[in-house]
């Protein structure tokens, strides 16, 4: 299953993938250039699922590359940082772009990242896209 992560720079896309694939977290994760590819095989309900993940770069100058990664994806995870309202606004734009230009069968999920920084939350849990 091909999956793509989209979202503001600094939202934590690479950190989520690194945790999922290697179980690691680094405090000073470098900003992604272009996109990075990861894969992870898991057994889910007796079925073996191979996740093939495109971790895209959030910086605006890479925006035009994004369709190359989301067009073939079965699922997209749009990541924002709960302490950063601008990242939530950017997430809404990704939803609109995927609705307009993505594969209509693609599953979309919105992930409010940096849940450990709850005291600094600036996007309400009930905020809607």
Ligand X SMILES: Nc1nc2c(ncn2[C@@H]2O[C@H](COP(=O)(O)OP(=O)(O)OP(=O)(O)O)[C@@H](O)[C@H]2O)c(=O)[nH]1
Binding site for Mg ion (CB under 5 A): 13-14, 32
Task: Choose from ligand X, Mg ion, none: what does 90 bind? Cβ within 5-8 Å by kind.
Answer: none
Question: Which residue, 17 or 106, has its beta carbon nearer to ligand X?
Answer: 17
3 binds, among ligand X, Mg ion, none (CB under 5 to 8 A by kind): none
Interface residue with ligand X among 4, 35, 57, 73 (CB under 6 A) is 57
Nearest CA to 17 out of 47, 48, 44, 40 is that of: 40
Q: Is 10 in the site for ligand X (CB under 6 A)?
A: yes
What's the closest the beta carbon of residue 89 comes to ligand X, in angstroms? 15
Where does this chain bind ligand X (CB under 6 A)? 7, 9-15, 27-29, 31-32, 57-59, 113-114, 116-117
């Amino acid at each position: 299953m091909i999956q793509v992560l989209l979202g503001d720079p600094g939202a934590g896309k690479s950190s989520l993938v690194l945790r999922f694939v290697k179980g690691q977290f680094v405090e000073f994760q470098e900003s992604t250039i272009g996109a990075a590819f990861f894969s992870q095989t898991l057994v889910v309900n007796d079925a073996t699922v191979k996740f093939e993940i495109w971790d895209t770069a959030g910086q605006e100058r890479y925006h035009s590359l994004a369709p190359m990664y989301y067009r073939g994806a079965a699922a997209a995870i749009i990541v924002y940082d709960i302490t950063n309202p601008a990242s939530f606004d950017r997430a809404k734009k990704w939803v609109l772009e995927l609705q307009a230009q993505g594969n209509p069968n693609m599953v979309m999920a919105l992930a409010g990242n940096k849940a450990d920084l709850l005291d600094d939350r600036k996007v309400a849990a009930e905020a809607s896209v």
